[in-house]
Amino acid sequence: MSEIKIDKERCKACMICISVCPKKLIKLEEHAQNRAGSSYVKFVDDSNECIGCALCAQSCPDMAIYEVIK
- Residue 1: what pLDDT? 62
The alpha carbon of residue 26 and the mean position of all alpha carbons in its chain are separated, in whole angstroms, by 5
For residue 32, what are the domain limits?
2-69
- Residue 3: what pLDDT? 82
| CATH code (residue 50) | 3.30.70.20
CA–CA distance, 70 with 5 (Å, rounded to integer): 12
Residues facing residue 35 across a β-bridge: none
- How far CA 38 is from CA of 1, 12, 17, 52, in Å, comes to 30, 5, 16, 27
Query: In total, how many domains does the chain have?
Result: 1
pLDDT 10s digits, 28-70: 998 999 999 999 999 999 888 999 899 999 999 999 999 888 7
Q: Global pTM? A: 0.88
Residues with Cβ within 8 Å of residue 38, at least 6 apart in sequence: 11, 12, 13
